[in-house]
Structure 1
């Protein structure tokens, strides 16, 4: 399971570069850079390049699932998706009067149409329960 204790070593193994308390990785197909500020305990996504974050609680170290979401976004960017194709914590309504839902990651095609919804879980009990 990814935790705050092993997150830095995971990022280094994924090719992130360390500059003091900030680890970052640039992807050649986009200007977007993923960053992690270990001093501020922040997960920094390339919002300046179109990645949308609807709920800021996914951008901190307080839930282990946030590390899983970050690593999943890393993999999506590595597969060639651009930041503008990715939305975190999207919300939608389902049917008449239904409360709707929220997912961890929505991946959109170039025209903005949804193509993939990702629900992230940490290993262990949370994954088994899901």
Structure 2
């Protein structure tokens, strides 16, 4: 696995940007898992994974919202997370390659990553993972 702190450093990201990208990537992973269970018709596992997806969405939402009271009603309203949007999206692209399930690389292709050193580190980590899987599983990897 590629070292996320290393990628964050290569991309010049702040801690807040890194955490936001990690939280978003987690949502991609959980949504990918939900889709996989639906494709398999595995409704029990899908049901269990929905809880993880909801928790991931709640965590992400807390990073970009705050509670406001209107009369007796409490609502969640947008709050600017104070991050550089472009740099955060670059982190999402980087993190999504190995930690975003199958949706991550599909929605955030590595070709969109502007830092070539980070892209090469990700590709090298993917090659190591593929090689290890092939040794363990044979040609089915």
The two structures share one fold, judged by TM-score above 0.5: no
- With normalisation by structure 1, the TM-score equals 0.22
- With normalisation by structure 2, the TM-score equals 0.21
User: Which is bigger in relative contact order (C-alpha 8 A, separation at least 6)?
Assistant: 2
Point out the structure with max Rg over C-alpha: 2
